[in-house]
Structure 1
Amino acid sequence: MRALLAFAGSRGDAQPGVLLGRELARRGHEVTVAVSPNLVEFAARHGVSAVPFGLDSGELLRAQRDDERFRGLNPVRRVQAVLDLQRRGFGTAAGDLLALAGDLGLARDKGVLVTGMACEEVAAEVARHHAIPLAALHFFPIRPNRVVPVVPAGLASRLPGELHRLGWHALTKARAWALASEITAFRRANGSGPHDTDVPLVSYTAVQAYDPDLFPGLVDELRDEPFTGFPVPAAGGELDPELAAWLTEGPAPVYAGFGSMPVADPIATESMAREVCRRLGRRLLLVGPMFRPRIGLDLAVVDQVDHGAVLPLCTAAVHHGGAGTTAAALRAGVPSVICSVQADQPYWGRQLEQLGLGVTVPFAGLTANRLERSLIRATAPEVVAWAAAYGAGFRDDGVARAADVIESFSATGESANRESIAPDTGVRELPSTIGGVR
């Protein structure tokens, strides 16, 4: 099998594609992984053949940080900002990916194009142009369904399920509308009609790359979609000796890190986290390149860590709620305080809070008092116990199962039967609130 894996976006967006590419290559397939230019080195360090496409993801994140519409409370302006960000760089990414697919001979060799959520529309246009199959990894349920509210708020969960389904349909149409001009320009530039919207993909599958048990009832809603579980890296990597000593020579710390999210004021954010941990008598492990690295008695600040090695040694994880970090906290069996910024992060925050596995608060509204209250709730005995129980049953073979799906899809044009990919999927009983407190 010849496969091109295109995963634009931040490191969290790219990592599942890199892990999947490495697994497919290990199985003997010809694999090329395309990521944002600033992440090529990251992908190459994982032993995959990596090439750049599209814009630097750091540039897009900085654009979001500097756009005041994202910081305001006006929902119309926020939607406009999101749509503008989606349009930015579409032409560059589509052109780069089109050339890559051609150079690799995917159409000639009946190859497959695999993509993530951040650039699915780009990949779909390239797949149509070359008449090749397209598989998309979804890290969160965005396919129309009656289980997950399209608005990540507590009140929305009380609405009829049919409204949720219609809401997801409307969101899909809004994304298509936002990109319509970019798609038209791409088609005109590459010899296809601008109105060929009904041209079907040769074949398509949406791989649900998360644990369906976190969304009771979703398996029945998405009957034709393969569920593979979270595509997490192997657990228990090596630790820096100084950090390892700090972690084991004192009480379990609070982990705090926000991935690639734009932290506008790192000094204030660090000061807030330190103050809250001081009040609670907790040590703090602060992670991120925006913070000044050092290790002291009650504080360790590092650039990056292996979540699989570090989080099991922590008492709670304060993070942005990206799918990868959320999965790492769930696997480690520690409660989360999700300080969401964008995209699927508010949904993960809401879902973990509803299921008793953590607490959520928007990063934009974060204060020392709110963070303190959130940490107190997240480290309540019943939440700690339930997070540990969930972690004990976490399946970490999501990458292998996703590779099984891609192999089957490439060979037959259809995704593998769900039972053959995830035979042990059985819905666990999950609580609906954290000790009855919202």
Structure 2
Amino acid sequence: MRSLLAFTGSRGDAQPGILLAHALRERGHDVTLALAPNLVAFARDHGVPAVPFGRDTADLLHAQRTDRRFISRDPRARLRALYDLQRRGVPEQIEDLRALAPGHDVVVAGMAGEEAAESVARAVGLPFAAVHFFPIQPNSAVPVAPVRWAGHLPGFVHRAGWSVLARARAAALAAVLPVTTGPSAASVRIQAYDPRLFPGADEQLPGPFVGFPVDSNGFFTSAEVSEPCTIGTHDQRMPPFGEAVDEFSDESSNGTAISDPRMPSSTLDSWLDEGSAPIYVGFGSMDVGNPTSFVATLREVCARRGRRLLLASGWATIGPGFEDAVAIVGQVDHARVLPRCVAAVHHGGAGTTAAALRAGVPQVICSVQADQPYWGHALRRLGLAATIPAKKLTAERLDALLDQVSRPDVILRTASYAAGFATDGVERAADAVEALAGSPDAPELLHSAGRQL
């Protein structure tokens, strides 16, 4: 089987694709892994060949953050900006994937760029699988608005709301997606999350439900260094420890990010060994506002609580380094580090949320966009986390939220959930891809992939 895997977006979007590519290669299949250009090196550094497609993630984030229409008082301007954002980079994705697709037996994509990849698969008559990290398809089980009161609305309102959102996205992309004709090949939506977090979703959405695509065999853990922050072209300067240069401000050379150097994982291990369990904070590729103020807030809260701080600065350009009470690195391996932390404060990306659930760590989810607020409210309803929009975060509010998740009942629930966490999501997803591509054992594989968690 020759499979084309197309996973654009941030590292959180790409990492499941890398794991799936590795699993399929281990089974003897030929795999072409296509990633956003700035993440190709990340896959190659872990021994998985990859090729670039579409536009650099940092370019897209830069364009989004600098588009003043998003903060316009005119709702029509904000809507036009949102429509333009949906289209941005799609023509480049289609062009690159059309060049890659011939000779493959199946196309697989993540949620980001799903429509572009499916249009190419249909154009060349290949089966298509989309890996969904969140229940995005119309349903009545998941509240359409990520707010407390939405849980009291009737189910038909949620289904109607999700349908409206789906039609709006389709309308935004209609101008850039090619029109395809002829019969469609088989397709499947692989639900790559735990449906227990969204009760009733598995009864309404097509499967298979495979569980979170986590690194179950230490594939990423085996790296000798903690992962650096990488965006676009790197400036040679580095701000002092704990200080920052905003990667999208005029203070940064060429409007590009500054990357911290690779740090030996043994250095972080030593810091963890030498003191009490820290509070982990990481916002990935999300905007943290003023990075200097952000670090000052975290220092204040952790000092007030008598806890050490471990900050994974991600794509914020914050100077790395180590003090007795504070460690700042670019990226960490969640599977290795989170079990050694007392709490996790993060943006609510599906991958980070899953890693913290697996580690049994109470969470404070400070959502920024997309599916992040939904994860926050889903985990809050189950008593596994507290949540707040990141833009409303203050030292006092963060301290209060950490008080909430430090209660014994929350600690017990998170530990209980971790004890039953399913770690075979990647293998199940690989089963589903094999089945879709026409394996002789397709019915058995598809049944196995979708078995009850």
Q: Deviations over 1:262-294 (max 9, x none)?
A: 333211111111111111111100112422111
What is the CA distance between 1:322 and its match in structure 2? 0.7
- Secondary structure of the structure 1 residue equivalent to 2:175: helix
Instruction: Look up the match of 1:131.
Output: 125
The aligned residue for residue 401 of structure 2 is: 374
Q: Tell me what 1:213 maps to.
A: 196
The 2-side partners of 1:415 and 1:165 are apart by 30
Matched, 1:401 2:428: yes
Q: Distance in 2 between matches of 1:10 and 1:86?
A: 15
| 1:39 alignment partner, SS class | helix
Please, which moves more after superposition, 258-267 or 8-17?
258-267
SS at match of 2:130: strand
Aligned partners of 2:445 and 2:312: how far apart in 1? 40
Matched, 1:62 2:62: yes
TM-score (structure 2 length as normaliser)? 0.85
Measured in 2, the distance between the counterparts of 1:156 and 1:339 equals: 19
Task: Provide the C-alpha distance between the structure 2 equivalents of 1:163 and 1:255, rounded to a whole number of angstroms.
Answer: 37
Cα distance, 1:200–1:263 mapped onto 2, change above 3 Å: farther
Q: Secondary structure at the match of 1:181?
A: coil
Q: Counterpart of 2:216?
A: 234
Residue 449 (structure 2) aligns with? 421
> 1:128: Cα distance to partner?
1.4
Deviation at 1:167, TM superposition (A): 1.2
Give the C-alpha shift of residue 71 in structure 1.
5.5
1:90 aligns with 2:72: no
Residue 271 of structure 1 corresponds to 296
The answer to whether the 8 Å contact 2:428/2:448 transfers is no
Match of 1:386 among 413, 431, 453: 413
The one-letter amino acid of 1:268's match is S
Checking the alignment, whether the CA contact within 8 Å between 1:346 and 1:362 is kept in structure 2 is: yes
1:340 aligns with 2:372: no
- Output one character per residue of 1:125-172: Cα deviation in whole Å (capped at 9) or x when no partner: 101110111100000001111100111111111111111111111111
Counterpart in the other structure of 1:42: 42
> Hey, what's the Cα distance between the residues in 2 that align with 1:137 and 1:65?
27
In structure 1, stretches of 5+ residues that fail to align are: 426-438
Q: Tell me the SS of whatever aligns to 1:182.
A: coil
The letter for the 1-side match of 2:133 is F
CA displacement, residues 359-397 of structure 1 (integer Å, 9 cap, x when unaligned): 111112211112111111121211111111111111111
1:159 aligns with 2:153: yes
Let me know the Cα RMSD of the aligned residues: 2.0
| In 1: Cα distance, 2:147 partner to 2:69 partner | 21
Aligned: 1:201 with 2:184: yes
Secondary structure of the corresponding residue to residue 33 of structure 1: strand
Q: Distance in 2 between matches of 1:22 and 1:101?
A: 19
Which whole-Å CA distance do the structure 2 matches of 1:351 and 1:67 have between them? 31
Match of 1:248 in 2: 273
Structure 1 residues 416 and 53: alpha-carbon distance in aligned structure 2, compared to 1, 3 A threshold? farther
Kept after mapping to 2: 8 A contact 1:226/1:417: no
Moved more, 241-250 or 345-354: 241-250
For 1:149, the equivalent position in structure 2 comes to 143
1:435 aligns with: none
Is the Cα–Cα contact under 8 Å of residues 367 and 376 in structure 2 kept in the other structure? yes
Work out whether residues 258 and 319 of structure 1, in 8 Å CA contact, stay in contact via their aligned partners in 2.
yes
Q: Deviations over 1:214-257 (max 9, x none)?
A: 111112112x4100000011366257222112212211110001
AA in 2 matched with 1:164 = H
**Residue of structure 1 aligned with 2:333, choices 274, 289, 306:** 306
- Report if the CA contact (8 A) 1:94-1:126 is conserved: yes
Q: State the TM-score, normalizing by the size of structure 1.
A: 0.88
Matched AA of 2:449: I
Q: Is the 8 A contact 1:235 1:308 kept in 2?
A: no
Q: Does 1:283 align with 2:308?
A: yes
Question: Residues 57, 149 of structure 1: CA spacing in aligned structure 2 closer, same or farther, 3 A cutoff?
Answer: same
Q: How does 1:310-321 map to 2 (within 5 A)?
A: 310-321=337-348
**1:52 and 2:79 are equivalent in the alignment:** no
Cα deviation for residue 201 of structure 1 reads 2.6
Matching residue's letter, 2:323? G
Post-superposition shift, 1:76?
6.2
Aligned residues of 2:435 and 2:445 also touching (Cα < 8 A): no
1:44 Cα deviation after fit = 1.4
The answer to whether the 8 A contact 1:205-1:415 is kept is no
Q: In structure 2, how many angstroms separate the alpha carbons of the residues matched to 1:24 and 1:63?
A: 35
- Offset, 1:67: 3.0
CA displacement 1:336-356 (0-9 Å, x = unmatched): 111111111111111111111
Q: CA deviation at 1:416?
A: 6.0
Percent identity, aligned pairs only? 54
Q: Counterparts of 1:287 and 1:379 in 2: how far apart (Å)?
A: 21
Task: For residue 335 of structure 1, report the CA deviation from its aligned partner.
Answer: 1.1
Map of 1:30 onto structure 2: 30
Q: Using the alignment, how far apart are the partners of 2:217 and 2:142 within structure 1?
A: 29
Match of 2:167 among 170, 173, 195: 173
Secondary structure of the corresponding residue to residue 359 of structure 1: strand
Q: 1:407 & 1:400 partners in 2: Cα distance?
A: 11
2-side partners of 1:226 and 1:310: how far apart? 30
Q: Secondary structure at the match of 1:201?
A: coil
Once residues 217 and 279 of structure 2 are traced to their aligned partners in structure 1, the CA distance between those partners, rounded to angstroms, is 19
Residue 408 of structure 2 aligns with an amino acid whose one-letter code is P
Task: Report the equivalent of 1:361.
Answer: 388
Task: Please state if 1:114 is matched with 2:108.
Answer: yes
Cα deviation, residue 82, structure 1: 3.0
Q: How many residues align?
A: 407
Rounded to whole Å, the distance in 2 between the matches of 1:386 and 1:287 is 26
Please state how far the C-alpha of 1:51 moved relative to its aligned partner: 0.5
1:100 corresponds to which residue?
A: 100
**2:352 is the alignment partner of 1:352:** no
Change (3 A) 1:376 1:231: same
CA change 1:74–1:327 in 2 (3 A) is farther
Q: Distance in 2 between matches of 1:415 and 1:85?
A: 39
Determine the C-alpha separation between the residues in 1 that align with 2:202 and 2:162: 17
Letter in 1 for 2:65: R
* AA partner of residue 299 (structure 1): V
